[in-house]
């Protein structure tokens, strides 16, 4: 009835007064503690640590500089210069153990707990995982509170906002509620990443239920199993484990008195209520909202005890439990290889198995010795230092000069007479030959498009090769951000996530070093090493299954045609499309410039 909303609004007013009364004496005026979005974004990306590193270097404080660089790198793993700086610190100061000064403690404890679990040090695993849970719920409380700050209204300019009281409250509260609901994702996401660790919170209870079982605490094992089942009530493995724990407790404790953990139950109840409110508001008020899958069960513990969420090392007199494997996420496409090479002169060398990996192939004689020499002559006439890297002449290592050129640039120079047109056309033709071979060998059932084509040379700089221990190109993956410490490859920007296959076609062997290497996800364990030579081509799928790099070129110049491909036509290489048009015009009975109505000085 009349005035029925006053108690609610009175409570809101009192809360606002309380917040303001608390904030100003402790933090000062709003201008001192509420930063602009640009500043917050810089701190989120850890940009201050990049400045700190340089400042510490000037003060000759190498240990602090190394830690600052490491802290920045953890949020910016694609930053090649910082990666090189870290390698230099390890060499000059002998510092191997680096500190992430912005590490989230609950993440650190979780990782430590998993490491101890993998080593079957179950008591230590329990200690760290319990600390991780305590830290998680504390961070969740902070995250919820931080969401109550100022919000952006994306649908309209706030100054022109003409909504009534309840619409305005609903607008603001929906922003706050969506932020709070997303705390689950925020707390499961490592610094600088977009993608969270899947099934993060439930995994704590999954590890703990087995660890407690192994140390003989069956009450805690059942408690953690029941807590896990709050999130995944139909998980057959954990249901079976819970039943086994109940059997072990018969005659000593009534299993019905053992309940799931209160904090897990409270969080999940709140999370479900938030979801219902968001979906109801989206339907009733016209908001765009899609509920993410916050508890993806593909995120599961992997250990030799069998499979995620099951027991295999039972007491000798105990029953054996069935061991069934939890489904893993399916790849975007069915992976095949071994298709025809299309050209009789191309020689097969090694397949994936022989190269100790997945979706890999090594071929020889893709181009002839004469074609290699001709390509090399073209390269010397068209390449630009730092091409593709905003003019940085040494983008990957200060000990080498990097030069490159695209297909379109080669054709442009050929058309203008700066290089033989036939030689420029060769670059175009051999890259198309490589594309056809890759598409055929990997038995792709859809067209493979060029994503980027680059003729590149790396030249060792004289006087800078002594005691060198860096790489010509650091270990990376082509369509995701490699995170060796987390043993993950994050398929998110700024990685070129649309790339599906890669190939490198080598032009020469008259240099020292420069071997192409595949590694494990740790970016350290080499699984295959390939010595370049004329006509040799290595091709592989572009994902985290194929981390790779290039060893230091210590003498001479190493040249290759680097090729990246995509199955998505939306990401076709624009310069390649333009090059196709140029080739089509040139093929029209070899018409001259006047007949084709093209000014040779124009950009193609």
Residue tagged 């790396």 (tokens): 458
Give CA–CA dist 207/113, Å, rounded.
9
Closest CA to 501 of 330, 356, 336: 336
With contact defined as beta carbons under 8 Å apart, do 346 and 363 qualify? Answer: yes
Judged by DSSP in three states, 357 sits in coil
With contact defined as beta carbons under 8 Å apart, do 51 and 71 qualify? Answer: no
Give CA–CA dist 358/541, Å, rounded.
8
DSSP state of 16: H
With contact defined as beta carbons under 8 Å apart, do 405 and 384 qualify? Answer: yes
Beta-strand (E) ranges in 215-342? none
What are the tokens at 94? 């002998």
DSSP state of 108: H
Judged by DSSP in three states, 431 sits in helix
Give backbone dihedrals phi and psi of 277, rounded to 5 degrees, phi first.
Answer: -65, -45
> 188: left (phi > 0), else alpha (psi -120 to 50), else beta?
alpha
With contact defined as beta carbons under 8 Å apart, do 219 and 208 qualify? Answer: no
| Cα-based angle 531, 536, 538 (whole degrees, multiple of 5) | 80
Closest CA to 551 of 486, 484, 458, 478: 458
The helix or strand, by DSSP H or E, that contains position 242, with its residue range, turns out to be: helix 236-249
Residue tagged 């802290």 (tokens): 71
Give backbone dihedrals phi and psi of 245, rounded to 5 degrees, phi first.
Answer: -60, -40
Residue 105 CB burial class (10 angstroms; 0-12, 13-18, ≥19): middle
Q: Which residues of 41-72 are buried (b: 16+ CB within 10 A; e: fewer)?
A: eeeeebeebbebbeebbeeeebebbbbbbbbb
Active site residues: 558
């Amino acid at each position: 009835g009349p005035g029925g909303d006053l108690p609610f609004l009175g409570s809101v007013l009192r809360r606002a007064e309380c917040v303001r009364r608390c904030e100003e004496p402790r933090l000062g005026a709003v201008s001192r503690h509420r930063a602009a979005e640009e500043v917050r974004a810089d701190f989120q990306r850890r940009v201050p640590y990049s400045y700190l590193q340089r400042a510490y270097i000037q003060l000759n404080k190498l240990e602090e500089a190394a830690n600052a660089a490491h802290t920045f790198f953890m949020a910016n793993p694609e930053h090649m210069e910082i990666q090189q700086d870290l390698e230099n610190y390890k060499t000059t100061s002998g510092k191997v153990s680096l500190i992430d000064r912005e590490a989230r403690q609950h993440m650190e404890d979780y990782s430590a707990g998993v490491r101890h679990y993998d080593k079957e040090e179950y008591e230590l695993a329990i200690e760290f995982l319990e600390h991780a849970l305590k830290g998680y719920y504390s961070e969740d409380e902070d995250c919820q509170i931080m969401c109550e700050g100022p919000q952006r209204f994306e649908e309209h300019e706030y100054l022109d906002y003409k909504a009534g009281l309840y619409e305005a409250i609903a607008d603001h509260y929906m922003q706050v509620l969506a932020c709070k609901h997303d705390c689950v994702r925020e707390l499961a996401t490592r610094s600088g990443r977009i993608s969270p660790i899947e099934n993060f919170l439930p995994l704590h209870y999954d590890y703990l239920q087995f660890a407690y079982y192994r140390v003989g605490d069956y009450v805690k094992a059942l408690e953690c199993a029941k807590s896990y089942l709050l999130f995944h009530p139909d998980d057959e493995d954990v249901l079976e484990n819970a039943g086994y724990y109940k059997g072990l407790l018969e005659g000593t404790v009534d299993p019905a008195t053992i309940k799931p953990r209160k904090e897990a139950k409270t969080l999940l109840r709140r999370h479900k209520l938030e979801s219902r409110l968001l979906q109801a508001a989206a339907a009733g008020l016209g908001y765009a909202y899609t509920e993410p899958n916050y508890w993806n069960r593909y995120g599961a513990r992997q250990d030799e005890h069998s499979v995620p969420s099951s027991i295999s090392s039972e007491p000798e007199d105990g029953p054996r439990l069935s061991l069934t494997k939890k489904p893993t996420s399916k790849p975007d496409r069915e992976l095949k290889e071994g298709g025809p090479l299309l050209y009789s002169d191309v020689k097969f060398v090694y397949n994936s198995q022989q190269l100790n990996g997945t979706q890999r192939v090594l071929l020889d004689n893709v181009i002839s010795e004469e074609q290699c020499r001709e390509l090399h002559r073209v390269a010397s006439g068209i390449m630009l230092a730092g091409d593709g890297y905003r003019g940085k002449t040494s983008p990957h290592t200060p000990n080498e000069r990097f030069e490159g050129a695209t297909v379109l640039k080669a054709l442009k120079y050929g058309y203008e007479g700066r290089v033989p047109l036939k030689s420029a056309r060769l670059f175009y033709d051999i890259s198309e030959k490589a594309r056809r071979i890759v598409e055929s060998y990997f038995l792709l059932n859809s067209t493979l498009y060029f994503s980027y084509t680059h003729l590149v040379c790396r030249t060792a700089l004289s006087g800078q090769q002594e005691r060198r221990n860096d790489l010509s190109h650091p270990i990376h993956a082509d369509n995701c951000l490699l995170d060796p410490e987390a043993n993950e490859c994050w398929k998110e920007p700024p990685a070129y996530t649309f790339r599906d296959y890669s190939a490198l076609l080598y032009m020469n062997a008259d240099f020292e070093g420069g071997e192409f290497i595949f590694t494990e996800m740790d970016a350290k364990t080499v699984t295959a090493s390939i010595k370049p030579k004329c006509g040799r081509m290595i091709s592989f799928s572009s994902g985290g299954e194929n981390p790779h790099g290039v060893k230091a070129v210590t003498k001479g110049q190493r040249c290759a045609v680097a090729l990246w491909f995509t199955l998505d036509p939306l990401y076709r290489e624009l310069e390649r499309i333009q090059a196709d048009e140029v080739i089509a015009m040139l093929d029209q009975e070899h018409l001259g410039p006047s007949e084709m109505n093209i000014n040779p000085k124009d950009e193609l």
